[in-house]
A and B are shown apart, each in its own frame.
Chain A
Amino acid sequence: MTIVFERKAERALGVPRSERLRLDRRRFLASSLRALGAYVVAAQGVTWIVGADKAWAMELDAFEPDLAETLLQMTRALYPHDFLGDVYYAKVVEDLDAEASGFEDKSRLALMRDGMAALNEAAGGTFTSADDAQKVEALRKIQDTPFFQAVRSKTVVSLYNQSEVWTEFGYEGPVYERGGYLFNGFNDLNWLPDPPADASPPVQI
């Protein structure tokens, strides 16, 4: 994840080097990464997604602010997890942006722009100003379009492939450095009786 606290971001956005950024990462996670209310700004011709508390910012290469804002809200509507802060959905938008700018021609960017227009139309005006139910309804109307499929298939990979997201779901992920779950609870379930030894023999140590 590109969490920018760099001078570049400070210069472009006037993001102060807040006290919070000097805290250790774990407290940063707890205090900032669950936050909603991220917003999109353009500074010196560059689009940024900025955390509500200005603790993080992501620079985009291709998307205009309205497209970034639409996709930020669309990705959350696709896979709505209330305990996930906007930073994780912003990461998906960053990946969509990187993908669009990676195309040699502008075809991917055009797909996104045209898709946004269709989504706004499906929402009867502006998708970003629709309420949750209206957003779902608008998405349902366009769910067979290449635009929808492109965003959905990227989101389902990009959103759930973030290690901080895994933690939020109770998935611990890689365990090699900790010596395996053999020493970290592989059989700690205690709300059911243990199987007999012939079905589940003891660890051979």
Chain B
Amino acid sequence: MATFDKNDDNVVVIVGSGAGGGTLAHELCSRGIDVVLLEAGARQSIDSYVQDEWASFGQLAWLEKRWSDGGWRIATDFPNLPAWICKTVGGTTTHWAGASLRFQEHEFEIRTHYGEIEGANLLDWPITLAEMEPFYDRAEDKLGVTRTHGIPGLPGNNNFKVLYAGATKIGYKTVHTGHMAINSAFRDDRQMCHQMGFCFQGCKMGAKWSTLYSEIPKAEETGRLELRTEAYVLQILHDDAGKVTGVLYADKDGVQHEQKARIVAVAGNSIESPRLLLNSASAKFPDGLANSSGQVGRNYMRHTTGSVYAAMPEPVHMYRGTTMAGVVQDEAHHDTGRGFAGGYEIETLSLGIPFMAAFLDPGAWGRDFARKMETYDHMAGMWIVGEDMPQETNRVTLDPEEKDAHGMAVPRVAFTDHPNDAAMREHAYGRGEAIYDAVGAKAVYRVPPYPSTHNLGTNRMSENARDGVVNKWGQTHDVPNLFVSDGSQFTTGGAENPTLTIVALAIRQAEHIADRMSKNEI
């Protein structure tokens, strides 16, 4: 690994080492560009991961103070846990389940396809599927996505068997073990999946792609990456001309350092990235950096989600094997005949006993809840992932009073369902129940959304500077050498799990940055 001087103003500083930041680091380093990668969390490994839900949560999750506001049930049940994302090297690629689906063509242009929807802040992406396709292709190769590039699908587990039987019985056609960034056979120095379960707790086989053991070590091998762990970025600094000059960060002892930079790329996920821009307000940028549009922190999306678990007539042991073991894609299209715009994916999911107790019906107690828990070994489970509507009032803001240990304002995350979101969830719950009822479910449980795992949209991409924060390259409209490289760039969320798109955008952005740097344009 390289080391760079803190006054070296020729480096690219990347904030965050997850899907966006970790990929961008590798892609830039492999093009001969020096990178300082700042990660707030510590470095774990496949050896240090633990197959224990609460212990792993303590090891990997972002547990710095946050507040949940708004009409979502999370604000009541988990007031300090709006999101279930990570503070560790590799970011949330340690925790993600591996589902790697491309956006559909219309999902880059929903303002055009859906028209005006009251209360929704719809906007077309400034890029199209056709432009993204070559990058999706490279992202799928990088991640080793099953059912692409000749990579076989994963074998289905018991939970998938129930989903498949029920879904095909009620007429669904596109039902399989998914497009997963989990090795079905040895590939790219990563082992094949041993069906451990615990995909959310860090894959102890290293079969699931994570920047922790894929992109970051490869970047280190180039001799152009310095990874600084437990480096908590507090502010992005700029000069009088309005160009960023570096970042201020606190190390693990709380000592503050300034790292100079030629370019800063922010990839802290959709709560921390806008928080950092807002916290970088100055006399020149009183509303926060790159916020002339007022859109920083707004349009927070978290996918329309929910789970259906069912008590089946015979044992299932759904926790055995990959957590997201299969998908039903028949509801992913846009068809307002169902009573809402956009679509949703249905994907198997399972939780262990500790998290099932926490999430099955948060706050519930008594004999009825206990009886549901007692059906655990007979349970099959699924998760709904649907497109939610961007709304300006769903947003990340800084708490006006409360500061964290470093003196940085604590973020507040406000979210309320749009009526379209609620209608979609209701439809999806019904279809989920129908799938399990078709194969004899004794009981079905509608489970409310978990703390957000897909956090999107708070620095959105737009053609015009007035509508969003970054342009089609993730470059901020206001500051030419400041980029956003995570899911906060998403103009809209699509129905698909976001990681593949984040990676494809990072590959594309790296090419752009390298090109512009080589021409001395940045």
Contacts and interface: CB of A to CB of B under 8 A. Distances in A.
Contacts of B152: 201, 204
Contact of B358 (A77, A78, A157): A157
B198 A174 contact: yes
B497 to A, nearest CB: 19
A26 B305 CA distance: 41
Interface string B154-194: 11111011101100000000011100000011000000111
Given A186-B321, A187-B161, A192-B165, A80 B367 contact: yes
Given A143-B365, A186-B157, A199-B175, 15 more contacts: A136-B367, A139-B366, A173-B52, A174-B198, A180-B195, A182-B194, A185-B317, A188-B158, A189-B315, A189-B317, A191-B314, A192-B161, A195-B160, A198-B176, A200-B161
Given A200-B156, A200-B164, A156 B195 contact: no
Contacts of B196: 175-176, 180-181
A180 B376 contact: no
Contact of A201 (B50, B155, B356, B367): B155
B316 to A, nearest CB: 6
Contact of A187 (B50, B155, B357, B439): B155
B176 A200 contact: yes
A81 B374 contact: yes
Interface in A25-75: none
Contacts of A157: 54, 354, 357-358
B153 A169 contact: no
Given A169-B373, A201-B177, A175 B354 contact: no
Q: List the 7 shortest-distance A-B pairs measured between CB atoms, nearest first.
A: A180-B194, A170-B377, A200-B156, A174-B51, A186-B321, A160-B357, A181-B320
B366 A136 contact: yes
A195 B326 CA distance: 11
A173 B194 contact: no
B117 interface: no
A194 interface: yes
B448 interface: no
A195 B358 contact: no
Contacts of B155: 186-187, 200-203
A155 B490 CA distance: 39
B406 to A, nearest CB: 24
A166 B158 CA distance: 19
A204 B192 contact: yes
Q: Which applies to chain A's interface (DSSP): helix, strand, loop or mixed?
A: loop
B197 interface: yes
A156 B358 contact: yes
Interface of A: 77-81, 136, 139, 143, 152, 156-157, 159-161, 165-166, 169-176, 179-189, 191-195, 198-205
Given A200-B176, A201-B152, A201-B153, A181 B373 contact: no
Interface string B303-342: 0000000000111110111000010000000000000000
A79 B81 CA distance: 24
Contacts of B184: 201, 204
Nearest to A195: B164
Query: Which of A166, A171, A198 counts the most B-chain CB atoms under 10 A from its CB?
Result: A171
A96 B374 CA distance: 24
A199 B176 contact: yes
13 contacts: A79-B357, A79-B369, A139-B365, A166-B353, A170-B377, A174-B198, A180-B195, A181-B197, A186-B321, A189-B158, A199-B164, A199-B326, A200-B155
B89 to A, nearest CB: 21
Interface of B: 50-52, 54, 152-158, 160-162, 164-165, 175-177, 184-185, 192-198, 204-205, 313-317, 319-321, 326, 352-354, 356-358, 363, 365-367, 369-370, 373-374, 376-377, 439
A19 B369 CA distance: 38
A180 B353 CA distance: 18
A153 to B, nearest CB: 9
B353 A193 contact: no
Nearest to B316: A189
A166 B352 contact: yes
Nearest to A159: B357
Contact of B197 (A80, A175, A191, A192): A175
A136 B367 CA distance: 9
Nearest to A204: B185
A194 B366 CA distance: 37
Contacts of A81: 370, 373-374
A130 to B, nearest CB: 15
Contacts of A174: 50-52, 198
A35 B356 CA distance: 25
A78 B193 CA distance: 39
B160 A200 contact: yes
Given A157-B358, A176-B204, A187 B157 contact: yes
Contacts of B313: 191
Nearest to B380: A189
Contacts of B366: 77-78, 80, 136, 139
A119 to B, nearest CB: 14
A179 B377 contact: no
Nearest to A177: B51
A186 B320 contact: yes
A200 B177 contact: yes
Given A159-B357, A182-B194, A201-B155, A170 B160 contact: no
A161 B354 contact: yes
B162 A180 contact: no
Nearest to A156: B357
B312 to A, nearest CB: 8
Given A169-B353, A173-B52, A200-B153, A181 B321 contact: yes
Contacts of A179: 194
A55 B317 CA distance: 32
Contacts of A136: 366-367
Contacts of B356: 160
A198 B326 CA distance: 12
A183 B177 CA distance: 19
A179 B198 CA distance: 13
Contacts of B320: 172, 175, 181, 184-186
Given A174-B52, A201-B177, A204-B184, A181 B365 contact: no
